[in-house]
Amino acid sequence: MTKDQIFEFFRRLAEDNPEPETELEYGNAYQLVVAVALSAQATDVGVNKATRALFAKVETPEQMLDLGLEGLTEHIRTIGLFNSKAKNVIALSQLLVDEYGGEVPETRGDLVRLPGVGRKTANVVLNCWFKQETFAVDTHILRVGNRTGLAKGKTPEAVEEKLEKRVPQPFRLHAHHWLILHGRYVCKARTPECWRCPVVDLCSYRKKVLEKPKGR
């Protein structure tokens, strides 16, 4: 894509959804860290179902430690890899209490020190809570970046690097949300719904599905 095409790409996505937000539910920075850590290889819908009751009880890392590993595990049994995720959440809560006064740090370097928090999770927290211009590349963004020609790369890191260079203002803050939502609901993995895509003419994908399949 050219610079003008990239600008138009995001202009249209922004026009459709001016204030995109993560679909994860949370009330503060700590709950966001926990929710994103739990969302690895799980759906936001599934995580939200598990965390509603949990977050009604737990708002701080201190409260999570009081709940304990067994208590947390009971709340998140419906989420994939719940045993390892529960251990990570307890460990990251302990580290926040021990070294950060119970507060969530606002630098990527500090965030990725937390057990279960990788670069993608850190980028989500930095973007959603601290309003930093980061690009959290998940499977949706990886697919959309490569399919459309917006940001091609074999790894999330490669796509993130391309997005850092190519996404213009005033779209940088919300760019990763637009791309995630576009990949989740329009540019789907199995059959992209090109027939209703607002940026179809800007996309370089060669196997566009321009007619809605019967029965859909």
Residue 30 to residue 61: CA distance in whole angstroms: 7
C-alpha pair distances (Å), 108 with each of 131, 134, 159, 210: 13, 10, 18, 41
Query: What pTM was estimated for this model as a whole?
Result: 0.90
Residue of 85, 87, 98, 120 marked catalytic? 120
**Is 44 tagged catalytic?**
no
Residue 214 pLDDT: 82
With b for 16 or more beta-carbon neighbours within 10 A and e for fewer, the 41-60 pattern comes to ebebeebbebbeebbeebeb
Residue 216 pLDDT: 64
Residue 87 pLDDT: 97
Residue 15 pLDDT: 96
The encoded tokens of residue 154 equal 């074999």
The encoded tokens of residue 136 equal 């959290």
Residue 41 pLDDT: 86
Nearest to 163 by CA among 185, 136, 143, 189: 136
Q: End-to-end distance of the chain based on CA atoms, in angstroms?
A: 30
C-alpha pair distances (Å), 155 with each of 108, 112, 151: 19, 18, 11
Residue of 4, 49, 131, 138 marked catalytic? 138
pLDDT tens digits, the chain, 216 residues: what are they? Answer: 999 999 999 999 999 999 999 999 999 999 999 999 999 889 999 999 999 999 999 999 999 999 999 999 999 999 989 999 999 999 999 999 999 999 999 999 999 999 999 999 999 999 999 999 999 999 999 999 999 999 999 999 999 999 999 999 999 999 999 999 999 999 999 999 999 999 999 999 999 999 988 876
Nearest to 68 by CA among 78, 58, 77, 56: 58
**Is 85 tagged catalytic?**
no
Residue 85 pLDDT: 97
